[in-house]
Amino acid sequence: MPLTPEDIQSLYEQYGASLYDGEAVTQLEHALQAACLAEAENAPDSLVAAALLHDLGHILEARNQERDNAFPGVDHRHQLAAVPFLQPGFPDAVIEPVKMHVDAKRCLCAIDPDYFGTLSPASVHSLGLQGGPFSQVQVEQFQQRPHAQDALRLRRWDDLAKVPQRTTPDLAHFMRYVKKVYQPAAISLTT
């Protein structure tokens, strides 16, 4: 079932208070901080929306808390979990950075010698589960993909969006970007 902006807002309101993957912020705080950082850099509307939505897969997984607890030490590929629900209504400029933000971390670990040192302990742990830093071949393949540069920008905002008690605009403020880029697929009616 495709997610509408109203569905997304409801998910954040209902599950956003859960802690963000071993960090000292909630899922909603993390999403708002990432979107705030994107907005502060004058990112395009689609990339601000992607920053808000990049970890929506974790929110969807929060409904299945028992599964996550039943399989500790497993990468649940959260970056892909929300894609089937977002793809019908959002352009690739939103979807691809969301899909690629984990690969962007792996790429940055391979190309930026200082990047690994900026990762939180939880992010270092998940990096291991996600396959570790890219090889040179993987870096080259990643960099050739459309939206790779946006995914790298999103990744850096993701890493900085883990500050307890940071003040940001509220969810309604950033949902404006989501609504602006939302393009529901036309329903085909056949008779």
Which pTM value belongs to this model?
0.87
Three-point CA angle 114, 115, 118, nearest 5°: 100
| Rounded Cα–Cα distance for residues 135 and 141 (Å) | 10
As a whole number, the mean pLDDT across the chain is: 88
Write out pLDDT tens, residues 57-87.
Answer: 888 876 565 444 444 443 446 677 889 989 9
Alpha helices in the chain (DSSP H): 5-15, 27-40, 45-53, 56-62, 65-70, 78-81, 83-86, 92-111, 121-129, 136-144, 148-160, 171-181
pLDDT value of position 80: 78
Q: Which domains can be identified in the chain, with CATH numbers?
A: 5-181 (1.10.3210.10)
For residue 121, give both structure tokens: 């302990």
| Rounded Cα–Cα distance for residues 23 and 30 (Å) | 9
Write out pLDDT tens, residues 1-53.
Answer: 789 999 999 999 999 998 877 788 999 999 999 999 999 999 999 999 999 99
